[in-house]
Structure 1
């Protein structure tokens, strides 16, 4: 399973539009609130997320409906003024280890909660007129009481990709990464650009390699803070690397058999991306071809 996917909650979009039904779901004694310390989930030894009653929500909290679990509502709480300011992009090693150990589907629930809480924290004012906005649709939107503009959680599309040439994969190393870590190249889509065009542009910009025949592999939500990673493979026209040192520290070509060996836990010229990252899935799919 790709990391942060496989969520088991019924997202219950119908409740977001039905005030009476939402009130009933909130009053249900089975309703639960996700336990978070800032952005960090509190998980048990069984790898399950921690939940508590809605009575533990602060008085000024905005309850965000994450969905239903066997008919019982599950919420996250956004507390105005306590979270925001760019911190969600930070990924402490301890947090990532915890997420990797979560039971299947649990990380997907956390990803939704984290992204929504961060979005509320960074979008408290109307982008149209500047007035303070208010949460609505069970936390899945904000409405401006001044100009009536409605705002909805954003998802930032990102391409993450491997260029292949003569049975080798192009991998890059970002600045500040753990020693030896190499992964797929990645970058945000730009306005007026297709996925295929973004893949070609990013590889050429970062490594100076021109590619063609882009093919899609899979996607992954990435809640740091709220991206959608779209994994692709492209065919390189040549293997000459011209590195953009503002983007990458290094880039290397790695043969397929070496990638297989590294992914299997063996020795090799690089440390692979962690299993919960779609870059790991992308390498695994490419190496198995």
Structure 2
């Protein structure tokens, strides 16, 4: 597996700005001490939303605040340090997903603002959301079923019965631009997509599988095409709920499509002119700018694609 001649520039959510200071997490007094310090900066996640503000430069910033007494009643995770300031995430359960509740003004989801948030805000938001998603579904020990509790400043859960420790999971997924001999790009519409939404193919890496092997398997399974010349493009954390998207290009050895009926609703090959025309007339919606999928499509296209912004293909 080779690196592409030109990798993806400026993928959202990928800039390293925080020093996570993993060595500090073992201090049991770390989060209580930080919550008692008014200099600490708190990222308050309620459900999947945090407070944000937009500047005149078009950049969105995550709004942080000093700790308050009620923070200790919620899950607290140590995020790290930036320019001498210490950051923690405070996770509060939001309204149930089935509740029809108007979101608080001045807050946003990562899907809504991820393409425009500044580097520090992206790092804070993505880490807090990914950890929150993990904690919400790992309240019980997978070994014995007993309750677990957060330790290590929110980066580990420990079983209260057998003492076993459980760590945040990251699910690796491949996402790929499949290109044929005529330099056409393959786009597909998943069964759960919006009517007009189309994107590059993607799928999770299976146990005992290489990344390149996952690319070849997923393309063959979903559209019946064999590929070779798999090349790495870039990667992106994707905390929806806990993925790492690893991007590739791959060369199609054929163009006949056999769709996996329970996964793929439609698929077709596009020239650049055909894709531009389809986006312009509204017959195709491409992924939003926050996603590596959009960057992969634009990498093949040769530049930005002017299209209405979407926050989700579903």
* TM > 0.5 fold call: yes
Choose which of 217, 226, 238 in structure 1 pairs with 2:233.
217
Contact preservation (8 Å) 1:257, 1:287: no
Aligned to 1:28: 37
1:64 equivalent in alignment to 2:73: no
Q: Which moved more, 1:31-40 or 1:143-152?
A: 31-40
Change (3 A) 1:240 1:84: farther
Distance 1:107 1:269 in 2: 32
Aligned to 1:200: 216
Q: Which runs of 5+ in 1 are unaligned?
A: none
Distance 1:85 1:162 in 2: 36
Q: Which runs of 5+ in 2 are unaligned?
A: 1-9, 304-314
Contact preservation (8 Å) 1:42, 1:49: yes
Change (3 A) 1:269 1:253: farther
Aligned to 2:123: 108
Choose which of 153, 157, 177 in structure 2 pairs with 1:138.
153
> What is the alpha-carbon root mean square deviation over aligned residues?
2.7
Contact preservation (8 Å) 1:85, 1:122: no
Choose which of 186, 189, 213 in structure 1 pairs with 2:202.
186
Kindly indicate whether structure 1 or structure 2 has the higher relative contact order, using CA contacts under 8 Å at least 6 residues apart: 2
- CA shift digits 1:216-244 (9 cap, x unpaired): 11100001001000111111111000111
Contact preservation (8 Å) 1:4, 1:105: no
1:44 equivalent in alignment to 2:53: yes
Distance 1:183 1:26 in 2: 43
- CA shift digits 1:32-54 (9 cap, x unpaired): 22123321122113321122222
Change (3 A) 1:14 1:22: farther
Shift of 1:169: 1.0
Q: How does 1:232-247 map to 2 (within 5 A)?
A: 232-247=248-263
Aligned to 1:13: 22
Choose which of 97, 101, 107 in structure 1 pairs with 2:112.
97
Count of matched residue positions in the alignment of Structure 1 and Structure 2: 280
Shift of 1:178: 3.5
Change (3 A) 1:240 1:35: same
Aligned to 1:282: 296
Contact preservation (8 Å) 1:33, 1:57: no
Distance 1:204 1:211 in 2: 8
- CA shift digits 1:199-221 (9 cap, x unpaired): 11111111111111211111000
Contact preservation (8 Å) 2:18, 2:123: no
Distance 2:201 2:167 in 1: 29
Contact preservation (8 Å) 2:45, 2:128: no
The SS at the match of 2:264 is coil
Higher helix share: 1
Distance 1:37 1:126 in 2: 25
Contact preservation (8 Å) 2:45, 2:129: no
Aligned to 2:144: 129
Contact preservation (8 Å) 1:28, 1:72: no
Change (3 A) 1:130 1:83: farther
Shift of 1:62: 2.3
The SS at the match of 2:124 is helix
TM-score (norm 1): 0.87
1:270 equivalent in alignment to 2:284: yes
